[in-house]
Amino acid sequence: MVPLFRRGPIGPLSLVLALLLANPSLGAEQIKISLGGKMEQYFFLMDADELPGESLNSSGALSDVEVYFSGKTVLDNGIEISAKIEMEAENKNSGEVDEQFIDVKTAFGRLRVGETEGFNHNFSYETPFVAYEDDEIVGRVVPKRTSIGVKEIMTFERFTGDAFQIGYETPTIGGFTVGANYFPTTTQGEDGFFDTSTIDNNAWEVSGAWEGRVRGGKIGLVGGYFDSQSRAGGNDGETAWNVSAQAEIGGFTVGGSFIRSTPDDDLNSSTLGIATTYEIGPWGVGASYFRVRAAAMPNAIVKDKIDQGKLEASYILVRGVKLGMTGFWVGQEPAGGPEFNDMGLISSAVLRF
């Protein structure tokens, strides 16, 4: 049997769960494991500007593969207890655990404990897509020429990763939901007591989401705030806020997101993403624009710049299998440096199981 609960600082919640599951009056079936996952394979062709001495290959490949173990049980009193483990399944990651957490869901909301991102990541709308899930794929293809990366850049997962946290999500009332999370530190894999002079600490976030129906579709809005404290004598703390919105009417989806980061080291940044897609039957097409402005030095007047545009198309071969093609252009201009322009095509095969 695959263990769904690994040892860690779950503390009082573990005791509560043990008492609930041990009490015959609250009897429920033992948690059973279900298996799921994803497999994303990408092949690309690219024409990229080079630095002196570079000789970049014009083609390459990427993959993103994960396996999910999940299970749940419902007690006689209606409390739902579930657990999930996500494992990376690529050779470069050696099968490491990506996320693991427990959810306890009642009429009063959801309590979450474990190593995973906060509710801001779950609430926020990514810029709409059809070929693949986010703009970080393009960011992994093109050479990095600026001080800031684009991995998970639009949500607070950018700061916390999958660090240990405890979170609470309210029930949805009138379309509104609020979620809050506390991270003892955003350093992943850090359990137990730690020295605040060596790592950032006491991070927290709060986010609100609203979703409503309109004739022929729905609209949604999300906003959040994040803060963490620097290590003693350091400047690695973060403060940030973000907003995102999306509207779906018929086969059209229009959406956008924005995040502003003002960390203690004064390397401020702002990121904007907007997109529109249209889907009819198994076919989908879309267009998006992505813009980053980031300070490479504290309080810099001239910023590092990233501008990205892409056009994409997709076809759902069968349920859970999507094929896609994306054309992209990325302009990068480090502060005080030359401008780099990269363009190319990415073919994709995305499986969900």
Interatomic CA distance for residues 227 and 207, integer angstroms: 12
Q: Tell me the chain's radius of gyration from C-alpha atoms.
A: 22
Contacts with 162 (C-beta within 8 Å, 6 or more apart), sequence order: 98, 99, 115, 116, 117, 188
The reply to whether 53 falls in a domain is yes
**Per the domain annotation, does 105 fall within a domain?**
no
Q: Is the pLDDT of residue 77 over 70?
A: yes
Task: Look up tokens 């990541």; give the residue.
Answer: 121
pTM more than 0.75: yes
Over residues 88-120, the pLDDT tens digits come to: 887 665 557 789 999 999 999 999 999 999 999
Q: Is residue 70 part of a domain?
A: no
Is 151 or 20 the better-scoring residue by pLDDT?
151
Is residue 313 in some structural domain? yes
Mean pLDDT of 297-319: 92
Strands (E) across the chain are located at 34-48, 59-74, 80-88, 97-106, 109-115, 164-169, 176-183, 201-214, 217-229, 239-249, 252-261, 269-280, 283-294, 304-318, 321-333, 340-352
Per-residue pLDDT band at 189 (split at 50, 70, 90): confident
Domain residues for the domain of 157 are 35-63+115-161+189-352
Q: Is 126 part of any domain?
A: yes
Segment (H or E) for 157: helix 157-160
Instruction: Give the C-alpha separation, 228 to 236, whole Å.
Output: 9
Mean pLDDT of the region 143-160: 87
The yes-or-no verdict on residue 25 having pLDDT over 50 is no
Identify whether 75 is part of a domain.
no
Query: Is residue 286, in this structure, part of any structural domain at all?
Result: yes
Q: Mean pLDDT in the chain?
A: 88
Of 343, 347, 309, residue with least CA distance to 326: 347
Q: How far apart are CA 141 and CA 328, in angstroms?
A: 10
Tell me: pLDDT of 16 over 50. Answer: no
Residue 74 lies in a domain: no
Residue 292 pLDDT greater than 60, yes or no:
yes
Are the CB atoms for 98 and 162 separated by under 8 Å? Answer: yes
Condensed to tens digits (0 to 9), the pLDDT of residues 256-280 reads 999 999 999 999 999 999 999 999 9
- The whole-number average pLDDT for the span 284-308 is 92
CB 199 within 8 A of CB 190: yes
Domain count, the chain: 1
